Chain A
């Protein structure tokens, strides 16, 4: 079974994945702000007991922070199984589907955060998955729900549907032509937020996330359709810019991709920043057929982008690695996994 980041879905030249996240709280416990660690532990245990027995979760792995070390938790965050917020919690637990496409986080900013990932541009499928889980959980637990405000959340910005839907986008051409800021302002008018996945807004392999800003007053379908419509336009813009650049400067474009491949294929030390940049250039080259892979097997480059994150590399080693050792391990990982070209 492939994980969402191991395959390429619809419009995969630009759209890496779609994700739907639902925020839910249950009656009987204060929200996270006012929940003590002790009560959080009781809550997590109660929820786990109720969910564990259900058929829907038979194949799920259960995790509890008290059984995990920092590296394991960080690696889960790098694979998007858990959120940045959850990572910083003292007490947390959850359930993860075997392929890691669906995860249920407990004691996040809200008691329950359900998230579903799909590869490519198929947010409806992601919603379907999350919604089914929501029905199952809502059937055995008592959600905080209000006729007027809908699903009640810790933060007023999540209230109503409690839903955030997002696409992860690869936008090297829009980035290279300096159009991201303008684009971000444009999508803002449609109630969407576009942001770099990099820390402190640093470039992160030209990977961006576009998410709905409003959660109250619109149906889930309206929110999802709006997101998909605007994302389709971004996909078109990115494609047009890529075509323009390649038709004007084909040799330069090809040169960049071959250089990236050369370093990825032969370097003995690769920093995270370099790795992300080079993989982004190589991904663009494959998408636009500037280079030809030796095999027909469709390899997801985003999978490599996740694999080269520090905690995931650390997980594969028996000993604690220094930064330099991680750079060496990163180059090895890339050599082992990068698709060869003709």
Chain B
């Protein structure tokens, strides 16, 4: 995908901007991103870009006071590898598998933008065990309980809703639930 600003370089910075309630996708090359002072890309980001503030708030929500949120950027990181959100948005790459749990739900729309989809439909790893899973899931569905996929989908939707409404503490709670659900599922498998 080419940079929307210069139409020359490959776009490496992908972000969602929410302004006056209108959400738009942006794709820039690193040079233009720096030139246009895209927040999260530059050290001194402005407050007029809610997306970055939302993420900042969400990731800082684990007990941090509201006042600290705006300066919390440097303290936010993936518990697995220490990747900070600032670094993640600047580099646009993941530091470990756990980063996908931390940053993944928040860039779901960007995933759709990059790939035209946000759900894997290819080869399934360790088909034997996941085959057993789907049997279990089916049984659960019949007895009225939600399957793993349904539970996960529901939690991810809740998480994104919470982010949009700036309910950071609630969002952090959903994030932890997603993580616990996934860990539980992996142990079953």
Residues on A close to B: CB < 8 A? 25, 27, 30-31, 33-34, 131, 134, 138, 143-157, 159-161, 163, 191, 213-220, 223
Would you call B126 and A138 a contact (CB within 8 A)?
yes
Tell me which of B82, B83, B119 has the highest count of chain A C-beta atoms within 10 A of its own C-beta.
Answer: B119
Which of B92, B96, B119 has a CB less than 8 Å from the CB of A30?
A: B96
Distance A207 CA – B123 CA, assembled complex (angstroms): 31
Would you call B97 and A27 a contact (CB within 8 A)?
yes
Closest to A214 in B: B115
Chain A contact residues, majority secondary structure: loop
Would you call A154 and B122 a contact (CB within 8 A)?
no
Would you call A156 and B111 a contact (CB within 8 A)?
yes
Distance A144 CA – B125 CA, assembled complex (angstroms): 9
CB neighbours of A160 from chain B (8 A): 115, 120-122
- Count contacts on B: residues with CB < 8 A to the other chain: 36
Q: Does B42 contact A (CB under 8 A)?
A: no
Proximity bits, B118-160, A CB within 8 Å = 1, else 0: 1111110110001000000000000000001100100000000
Which of A143, A153, A156, A157 has a CB less than 8 Å from the CB of B125?
A: A143
Query: 3 closest Cβ contacts across the A-B interface?
Result: A217-B117, A150-B120, A161-B122
A–B Cβ pairs within 8 angstroms, 13 of them = A31-B95, A33-B91, A34-B82, A131-B123, A134-B123, A143-B125, A145-B125, A148-B104, A149-B111, A157-B114, A161-B122, A161-B123, A213-B1
Distance A334 CA – B121 CA, assembled complex (angstroms): 47
CB-CB contacts below 8 Å: B89-106 with A: 91-97, 99-100, 104
Would you call A25 and B114 a contact (CB within 8 A)?
no
Distance A148 CA – B111 CA, assembled complex (angstroms): 12
Which of A27, A34, A217 has a CB less than 8 Å from the CB of B120?
A: A217
Would you call B111 and A144 a contact (CB within 8 A)?
no
**Closest Cβ of chain B: how far from A34's Cβ, in Å?**
4
Distance A177 CA – B115 CA, assembled complex (angstroms): 32
Tell me which of A157, A213, A218 has the highest count of chain B C-beta atoms within 10 A of its own C-beta.
Answer: A157
Which of A33, A148, A156, A218 has a CB less than 8 Å from the CB of B110?
A: A156
Which of B93, B125, B148 has a CB less than 8 Å from the CB of A33?
A: B93
Distance A131 CA – B152 CA, assembled complex (angstroms): 29
**Closest Cβ of chain B: how far from A109's Cβ, in Å?**
8
Would you call B125 and A216 a contact (CB within 8 A)?
no
Would you call A155 and B93 a contact (CB within 8 A)?
yes
**Closest Cβ of chain A: how far from B34's Cβ, in Å?**
20
CB neighbours of B152 from chain A (8 A): 147-148
CB neighbours of A155 from chain B (8 A): 92-94
Would you call A216 and B118 a contact (CB within 8 A)?
yes
Would you call A218 and B117 a contact (CB within 8 A)?
yes
Q: Does B116 contact A (CB under 8 A)?
A: yes
Which of A145, A151, A153, A217 has a CB less than 8 Å from the CB of B121?
A: A217
CB neighbours of B81 from chain A (8 A): 30-31, 34
Which of A27, A152, A216 has a CB less than 8 Å from the CB of B119?
A: A216
**Closest Cβ of chain A: how far from B179's Cβ, in Å?**
12
Distance A233 CA – B54 CA, assembled complex (angstroms): 46
Would you call A217 and B125 a contact (CB within 8 A)?
no
Distance A154 CA – B92 CA, assembled complex (angstroms): 9
Would you call A149 and B104 a contact (CB within 8 A)?
yes
Distance A285 CA – B112 CA, assembled complex (angstroms): 45
Which of B92, B100, B115 has a CB less than 8 Å from the CB of A146?
A: B100
Q: Does B72 contact A (CB under 8 A)?
A: no
Closest to A155 in B: B93
Q: Does B80 contact A (CB under 8 A)?
A: yes
Tell me which of B96, B97, B148 has the highest count of chain A C-beta atoms within 10 A of its own C-beta.
Answer: B97
Q: Does B107 contact A (CB under 8 A)?
A: yes
Would you call A30 and B115 a contact (CB within 8 A)?
no
Would you call A25 and B115 a contact (CB within 8 A)?
no
**Closest Cβ of chain B: how far from A161's Cβ, in Å?**
4
CB neighbours of A156 from chain B (8 A): 92-94, 107, 110-111, 114
Would you call A220 and B110 a contact (CB within 8 A)?
no
CB neighbours of A157 from chain B (8 A): 114-115
Distance A156 CA – B27 CA, assembled complex (angstroms): 14
CB neighbours of A152 from chain B (8 A): 94, 97, 100
Q: Known pairs A149-B118, A151-B120; list 8 more (Cβ under 8 Å).
A: A31-B94, A33-B83, A160-B115, A214-B114, A215-B115, A216-B118, A217-B117, A218-B121
Would you call B80 and A30 a contact (CB within 8 A)?
yes
Closest to A22 in B: B123
Closest to A163 in B: B122
Which of A33, A159, A213, A220 has a CB less than 8 Å from the CB of B111?
A: A159
Distance A20 CA – B24 CA, assembled complex (angstroms): 34
Tell me which of A31, A134, A214, A220 has the highest count of chain B C-beta atoms within 10 A of its own C-beta.
Answer: A31
Closest to A217 in B: B117
Distance A218 CA – B100 CA, assembled complex (angstroms): 20
**Closest Cβ of chain A: how far from B44's Cβ, in Å?**
24
